[in-house]
Amino acid sequence: MPPILDNKNAQSSSVFRPEALLREARRQKGLAAVDVPPICILDPDGDIMRRLRSTGQAKPFEGWPCYHTALDTFTLAGQTVGIVGYAVGAPFAVLIAEELFASGCRVLLSLTSAGQIVPAGPTPYFVIIDRALRDEGTSYHYAAPSEYADADPTLITKAADALKAKGLRVIVGASWTTDAPFRETAGAIESARSKGVLAVEMEAAALYAFAQAANKQVLCLAHVTNTMGQTEQDFEKGEADGTADALRVLEAIVGACGIV
């Protein structure tokens, strides 16, 4: 058994808790304990957050005590939502997810750029990730070994129905979560393709394993923007670095979450 699977018991509680970290961060920074918005977004590429800041739509959430990130807020679907940029990769994404849920978040949406595995049309397009192949380390700290980490089917249905109602294209399927993007070998890609995996990204499996272990609501989406650099003019996201389409997708889903 590889060392990464040693001493892993998903039923055991952790000594180090996000509440303790946040308590000490607030003490050091002189911040009051205030709740973040009930719906928050992870934006690993940072494109959405940069766009919202540049247009004056986002403002800093001064009460966010995290040592590593900034939290902005903006209005989407008539609600105030939070957004954290640049949380790339499974460990970082789950670190921020733990802190957000410990700070009052009730639904977390992650929208990450991804590489195409099984084509579902010309890039770019969006995939609602219903399960993620566990090819990273973080998920094994939250859930017993298995091939996939699964999404909450209720959230998948809500998101798919919301996008359909807005006339937006809906693709639901599996992703492959890797923590070594520059080790996407031909063999690994073909293995993922043989399983019907649509895209490769770096966060979903860990976020879904965390969500199941902690009984939290997390939904991951992949913005399939590239073929891993195998064609010229790859990585094109669309209007305003893809943020126009991304915000339309997120707005439909936020509107369906029903939190006020």
Residue among 66, 69, 63 nearest 25 (CA):
66
Q: What is the CATH number of the domain that holds 187?
A: 3.40.50.1580
Burial string for 125-143 (b: 16+ CB within 10 Å, else e) reads: bbbbbbbbbbbbebbbbbb
Q: Is residue 6 part of a domain?
A: no
Enclosing domain of residue 59: 18-257
Q: What is the predicted pLDDT for the residue at 184? A: 94
Q: Is residue 10 part of a domain?
A: no
Q: Is residue 80 part of a domain?
A: yes
**Which stretches of the chain score pLDDT less than 50?**
none
Q: Which residue type does 204 have?
A: A
Q: Is residue 102 part of a domain?
A: yes
Give the residues across from 72 on adjacent strands.
Answer: 60, 83
Structure tokens at 244: 């126009």
The count of domains in the chain is 1
Distance in Å from the first CA to the final CA of the chain: 47
Residue among 212, 146, 201, 213 nearest 173 (CA):
201
Q: Is residue 2 part of a domain?
A: no
What does the alpha-carbon distance between residue 54 and residue 71 come to, in Å, rounded to a whole number?
Answer: 15
Q: What is this structure's pTM?
A: 0.96
Q: Is residue 9 part of a domain?
A: no
Structure tokens at 76: 């989407």
Q: Is residue 215 part of a domain?
A: yes
Q: What is the predicted pLDDT for the residue at 234? A: 73
How far does CA 139 lie from the centroid of its chain? 14
What does the alpha-carbon distance between residue 201 and residue 113 come to, in Å, rounded to a whole number?
Answer: 7
Q: Is residue 4 part of a domain?
A: no
Q: What is the predicted pLDDT for the residue at 260? A: 54
